[in-house]
Amino acid sequence: MEYNEHKPIYLQNVDLMQEKILRGDWSEEERIPSVREMGAMVGVNPNTIVRSYQLLEAQEVIYNKRGLGYFVKEGAVARIKENVKREFIANELPQFKAKLEMLGITKDELLKLL
Amino acid sequence: MIEIKNLSFAYSGTDVLDNISTAFEQGRVYGLLGANGVGKSTLFKLLCGLLTTKRGKIDIDGYSPADRHPGFLSKIFYIPEDFEGPAVSIKNYASGISSFYSKYDENLLHSLLNDFDIDINRKFTSLSLGQRKRAILSIALAMNTEYLLLDEPTNGLDIPAKAEFRKMVAKAMDDNRTIIISTHQVKDVENLLDHIMILDKRCVLLDSSVADIQQQYSFDVTMQRPADALYCEEGLGGYCSISNNTTDEESRINIELLFNYINSKK
């Protein structure tokens, strides 16, 4: 995969993992790849991947079963959607709004496009 | 752990390294950056005992590389930028040197060569530059040494091989290993690095973890020149800048920009 956004790599990996859960590639209560396996999959340093896992664990999206590895937590899909929505409203929406204003696109025009 | 104290080296009177002190810790992948001629390759050769110097000290887990103790040599593998390879097959070469490396994993070599699409029975002399590079990288990883020194490892690799290389190194990394990658092709390896060291002739200009750099600096691309930037370059997408990170948000490191900033400060 290509990493070319402005976000640090561990956060881009968080996005990737969240997408996998939202798409159903990884279902709730299913075991996910280990940190090392994930690193090898995407060609990223395992120490960087650890930060992604820590963040997702803190957000209660995944959890660690001692000796068994990481699993997707029950209710993860709903929590991810909530997080992504919050991020969308905080970061992307204002930029989108500014662009609409700059281009003079009205509410009606936008609604028709949607 | 590699500890370097007041290390100096000169080629027939021309100083390359001048009183350098630093350390490389276990469990990290270092990106060793530096302008042409600051002595990155020389440092590698000193670390593995190919070059020796009386000025300064290198200590690697209690060994001095210059002694070339077998116990030490079995811990370290160095791949120079240009590896010609002898007129023998990859298979014979690997089994020949494997007696020096106690943790050699033959299955791993087969699987790495397979991933790199290289036939183990080919002779080095019949391979292209990129293929030779793939072969020696596979051998280096399969020897399972604690220290791995890679000088411009992605030079000559095609685009898919570069991605394959990143996966291999990420997979090979563990808490007991130290991997040092010297490169100018920063984009090829940046996802692999968790530590960045920028070398200059007379000192180490930067020695920081990627996480610390992200917390200290903020990397931005903006349409207008930012007023409070520490360093700024104008490019196609706008102004690429580095400023002090005053938030708890982190941005992705632009290593080339960081390199230029650090070099401009010296």
What pLDDT is attached to residue B20? 93
Q: What tokens does B188 get?
A: 């090829």
Query: Is the pLDDT confidence value at A106 over 80?
Result: yes
* Closest chain B C-alpha to A12 CA, distance in angstroms: 10
Q: Are B63 and B57 in contact (CB under 8 A)?
A: no
- pLDDT score of A5: 64
Q: Looking at the partner chain, which of A6, A36, A44 has a beta carbon nearest the beta carbon of B252?
A: A6
Name the residue facing B170 among A11, A12, A43 (closest C-beta): A43
Q: What is the domain-level CATH number for residue A109?
A: 1.10.10.10
Instruction: For residues A59 and A70, give the distance between their C-alpha atoms in angstroms, rounded to a whole number.
Output: 14
3-state SS class at A94: helix
Instruction: Say which CATH topology domain B2-202 has.
Output: Rossmann fold (3.40.50)
Q: Which residues of A touch B250 (CB under 8 A)?
A: 8, 11
**Taking all residues of chain A, what is their mean pLDDT, rounded to a whole number?**
92
Contact A48 B174 (CB under 8 A): no
Domain annotation covers residue A2? no
Residues in Cβ contact with A33 at an 8 Å cutoff, skipping those fewer than 6 apart: A41
Tell me, what's the pLDDT at A63? 97
Considering the domain boundaries, does residue A82 fall inside one? yes
With an 8 Å Cβ cutoff, the interface of chain B facing chain A consists of: 27-29, 163, 165-171, 173-174, 191-194, 210-211, 214, 219-221, 250-253
| Residues constituting chain B | 266
| B49 and B215 Cβ atoms separated by less than 8 Å | no
Taking the Cβ of residue A16 and every Cβ of chain B, the question of whether any pair is shorter than 8 Å is answered with no
The residue assigned the tokens 């007991």 is B176
Give the pLDDT confidence of A56-85 residue by residue, as tens digits. 999 999 999 999 999 999 999 999 999 989
Residues of chain A by 3-state class (helix, strand, coil), percent to 5: 60, 10, 30
> DSSP assignment of A46-89, as one string?
HHHHHHHHHHHHHTTSEEEETTTEEEEPTTHHHHHHHHHHHHII
Within a domain: residue A62? yes
Which residue of chain A has the CA closest to B167? A43
Give the pTM. 0.89
Instruction: Give the position of tokens 């027939």.
Output: B12
Return d(Cα B47, Cα B76) in angstroms, integer: 9
Q: Does A35 touch chain B (CB under 8 A)?
A: no
All structural domains of chain B with their residue ranges: 2-202, 212-265
More confident residue, A87 or B68: B68
User: Mean pLDDT over residues A17-37, rounded?
Assistant: 95
Domain count, chain A: 1
Which two structure tokens, joined as six digits, stand for B117? Answer: 């699409």
Say whether B135 sits in a helix, a strand or coil.
Answer: helix
- Could you say which residues of chain B have pLDDT below 70? none
Residue A2: its pLDDT value, please? 42
Q: Is the pLDDT of residue A3 over 50?
A: no
Cβ atoms of A101 and A109 within 8 Å: the answer is no
Specify the pLDDT at position B127: 94
Structural domain of A47: 9-113
Residue A63: inside a domain: yes
Residue A46 included in any domain: yes
Condensed to tens digits (0 to 9), the pLDDT of residues B76-128 reads 999 999 888 899 999 999 999 999 999 999 999 999 999 999 999 999 999 99
A39 touches chain B (CB under 8 A): yes
Q: Is the ipTM of this complex over 0.95?
A: no
pLDDT at A1: 39
Closest by Cα among B200, B207, B210 to B264:
B200
